[in-house]
Amino acid sequence: MPEILKNKIGNPFPIPVLIIGVILALGSLLVVAESSLVAAGFVLVGLFIWTSSYGTEIDITNRKYREYTSFFGLKRGQWYGLEDMPYLAILKSRSGYTMYSRSNQSTTDLDDFYDVCLLNETHRKRVVLMRFKTNDEASKYAQNIESKLGLALTQFNPVVGEKTANRRR
Protein backbone atom coordinates (compact mmCIF):
# COMPACT_ATOMS: atom_id res chain seq x y z
CA MET A 1 0.00 0.00 0.00
CA PRO A 2 1.45 3.38 -0.97
CA GLU A 3 2.56 5.80 1.72
CA ILE A 4 0.83 9.14 1.04
CA LEU A 5 1.50 12.41 2.87
CA LYS A 6 -1.66 14.51 2.94
CA ASN A 7 -1.24 18.24 3.40
CA LYS A 8 -4.38 20.36 3.69
CA ILE A 9 -3.31 23.94 3.05
CA GLY A 10 -6.57 25.82 3.44
CA ASN A 11 -10.04 26.65 2.23
CA PRO A 12 -10.82 28.35 -1.09
CA PHE A 13 -13.38 30.59 0.61
CA PRO A 14 -12.61 33.40 3.08
CA ILE A 15 -13.64 33.05 6.72
CA PRO A 16 -16.87 35.12 6.44
CA VAL A 17 -18.09 32.86 3.60
CA LEU A 18 -17.24 29.76 5.68
CA ILE A 19 -19.33 31.15 8.54
CA ILE A 20 -22.23 31.70 6.14
CA GLY A 21 -21.85 28.07 4.99
CA VAL A 22 -22.09 26.81 8.56
CA ILE A 23 -25.11 29.04 9.23
CA LEU A 24 -26.81 27.76 6.05
CA ALA A 25 -26.16 24.12 6.96
CA LEU A 26 -27.31 24.49 10.57
CA GLY A 27 -30.08 26.98 9.76
CA SER A 28 -31.69 24.48 7.43
CA LEU A 29 -32.89 22.65 10.55
CA LEU A 30 -35.25 25.56 11.20
CA VAL A 31 -36.55 25.58 7.61
CA VAL A 32 -37.12 21.81 7.37
CA ALA A 33 -40.58 22.09 8.95
CA GLU A 34 -41.73 24.61 6.32
CA SER A 35 -40.16 23.15 3.17
CA SER A 36 -37.92 20.13 3.02
CA LEU A 37 -36.81 21.02 -0.53
CA VAL A 38 -35.54 24.46 0.53
CA ALA A 39 -33.87 22.90 3.59
CA ALA A 40 -32.11 20.33 1.37
CA GLY A 41 -30.86 23.15 -0.86
CA PHE A 42 -29.52 25.07 2.13
CA VAL A 43 -27.79 21.95 3.44
CA LEU A 44 -26.14 21.24 0.07
CA VAL A 45 -24.91 24.81 -0.38
CA GLY A 46 -23.74 25.03 3.24
CA LEU A 47 -21.92 21.70 3.12
CA PHE A 48 -20.32 22.60 -0.22
CA ILE A 49 -18.84 25.74 1.32
CA TRP A 50 -18.06 24.09 4.67
CA THR A 51 -16.30 20.97 3.31
CA SER A 52 -14.28 22.60 0.53
CA SER A 53 -10.50 22.64 0.85
CA TYR A 54 -7.28 22.51 -1.16
CA GLY A 55 -3.84 21.11 -0.60
CA THR A 56 -1.21 18.67 -1.83
CA GLU A 57 -0.60 14.96 -1.54
CA ILE A 58 2.73 13.20 -1.96
CA ASP A 59 2.85 9.51 -2.82
CA ILE A 60 6.25 8.55 -1.38
CA THR A 61 6.16 4.96 -2.68
CA ASN A 62 5.45 5.87 -6.33
CA ARG A 63 7.28 9.25 -6.16
CA LYS A 64 4.33 11.34 -7.33
CA TYR A 65 2.58 14.48 -6.11
CA ARG A 66 -0.65 16.30 -6.82
CA GLU A 67 -2.35 19.54 -5.98
CA TYR A 68 -5.97 18.84 -5.15
CA THR A 69 -9.24 20.62 -4.57
CA SER A 70 -11.77 18.87 -2.36
CA PHE A 71 -15.54 19.35 -2.25
CA PHE A 72 -17.81 17.14 -0.10
CA GLY A 73 -14.66 15.17 0.84
CA LEU A 74 -13.91 14.13 -2.77
CA LYS A 75 -10.42 15.13 -3.94
CA ARG A 76 -9.72 16.11 -7.54
CA GLY A 77 -6.30 16.71 -9.06
CA GLN A 78 -3.81 15.20 -11.48
CA TRP A 79 -0.76 13.21 -10.31
CA TYR A 80 2.70 14.26 -11.55
CA GLY A 81 6.11 12.64 -11.13
CA LEU A 82 8.64 14.06 -8.68
CA GLU A 83 11.38 13.82 -11.33
CA ASP A 84 10.36 17.27 -12.63
CA MET A 85 10.70 18.83 -9.17
CA PRO A 86 14.16 17.98 -7.80
CA TYR A 87 14.43 20.82 -5.28
CA LEU A 88 12.77 21.84 -2.03
CA ALA A 89 12.73 25.40 -0.65
CA ILE A 90 11.15 27.51 2.08
CA LEU A 91 9.58 30.71 0.74
CA LYS A 92 8.06 33.55 2.73
CA SER A 93 4.67 34.67 1.45
CA ARG A 94 1.96 37.09 2.51
CA SER A 95 -1.77 36.64 2.35
CA GLY A 96 -4.50 39.06 3.27
CA TYR A 97 -7.79 40.63 2.49
CA THR A 98 -9.40 44.04 2.73
CA MET A 99 -12.93 44.67 3.95
CA TYR A 100 -14.86 47.86 3.22
CA SER A 101 -17.69 49.33 5.28
CA ARG A 102 -20.67 51.21 3.90
CA SER A 103 -18.84 54.48 4.56
CA ASN A 104 -15.96 53.19 2.39
CA GLN A 105 -13.54 52.81 5.28
CA SER A 106 -11.28 49.83 4.88
CA THR A 107 -9.76 47.29 7.24
CA THR A 108 -6.88 45.15 6.00
CA ASP A 109 -5.76 41.87 7.54
CA LEU A 110 -2.32 40.62 6.45
CA ASP A 111 -0.64 37.38 7.50
CA ASP A 112 2.91 36.20 6.78
CA PHE A 113 3.46 32.53 6.00
CA TYR A 114 6.37 30.23 5.30
CA ASP A 115 5.64 27.87 2.42
CA VAL A 116 7.55 24.63 1.89
CA CYS A 117 7.64 24.25 -1.89
CA LEU A 118 8.79 21.84 -4.56
CA LEU A 119 10.83 23.62 -7.25
CA ASN A 120 11.82 22.65 -10.79
CA GLU A 121 15.35 23.02 -12.22
CA THR A 122 14.97 26.74 -13.04
CA HIS A 123 12.98 27.55 -9.86
CA ARG A 124 10.28 29.10 -12.08
CA LYS A 125 7.63 26.49 -11.31
CA ARG A 126 6.73 25.74 -7.71
CA VAL A 127 4.21 23.64 -5.85
CA VAL A 128 3.32 24.57 -2.28
CA LEU A 129 3.44 21.45 -0.09
CA MET A 130 2.56 22.99 3.25
CA ARG A 131 2.10 26.41 4.84
CA PHE A 132 3.35 27.35 8.32
CA LYS A 133 3.17 30.40 10.60
CA THR A 134 6.84 30.21 11.68
CA ASN A 135 10.12 29.53 9.92
CA ASP A 136 11.10 26.93 12.55
CA GLU A 137 8.03 24.76 11.84
CA ALA A 138 8.66 25.05 8.09
CA SER A 139 12.32 24.05 8.52
CA LYS A 140 11.42 20.94 10.54
CA TYR A 141 8.84 19.87 7.96
CA ALA A 142 11.26 20.56 5.07
CA GLN A 143 13.98 18.44 6.69
CA ASN A 144 11.48 15.61 7.19
CA ILE A 145 10.40 15.75 3.52
CA GLU A 146 14.03 16.05 2.40
CA SER A 147 14.95 12.81 4.16
CA LYS A 148 11.84 10.91 2.99
CA LEU A 149 12.05 11.93 -0.68
CA GLY A 150 15.78 12.51 -1.10
CA LEU A 151 15.28 16.02 -2.48
CA ALA A 152 17.82 18.81 -2.10
CA LEU A 153 16.82 21.66 0.24
CA THR A 154 17.98 24.83 -1.51
CA GLN A 155 17.62 28.61 -1.52
CA PHE A 156 15.10 30.07 -3.97
CA ASN A 157 17.21 31.46 -6.81
CA PRO A 158 15.38 31.52 -10.15
CA VAL A 159 17.38 31.47 -13.36
CA VAL A 160 17.17 34.84 -15.11
CA GLY A 161 16.81 34.59 -18.88
CA GLU A 162 18.79 36.69 -21.33
CA LYS A 163 15.78 38.85 -22.28
CA THR A 164 14.99 39.60 -18.64
CA ALA A 165 18.63 40.40 -17.86
CA ASN A 166 18.73 42.87 -20.78
CA ARG A 167 15.53 44.58 -19.59
CA ARG A 168 16.95 45.07 -16.09
CA ARG A 169 19.97 47.03 -17.29
Category of 152 on φ-ψ map: left (φ > 0), alpha (ψ -120 to 50) or beta: beta
pLDDT tens digits for range 109-134: 888 999 999 998 888 888 999 999 99
Phi, psi dihedral angles at 32 (to 5 degrees) = -60, -30
Closest CA to 91 of 159, 140, 139, 54: 139
Helix, strand, coil percentages in the chain from 3-state DSSP, rounded to 5: 35, 40, 30
The pLDDT averaged over each successive group of 10 residues in the chain (169 residues) is: 83 85 82 77 85 91 91 91 90 84 85 91 88 92 89 82 74
Read off the DSSP letter of residue 84. Answer: G
pLDDT at 70: 92
Helix, strand, or coil (residue 91): strand
Helix, strand, or coil (residue 118): strand
Residues listed for the chain: 169
Angle between the 36-51 and 15-31 helix axes, to the nearest 10 degrees? 160
pLDDT tens digits for range 4-26: 888 888 888 888 888 888 888 88
Q: Which amino acid is at 44?
A: L
pLDDT at 169: 63
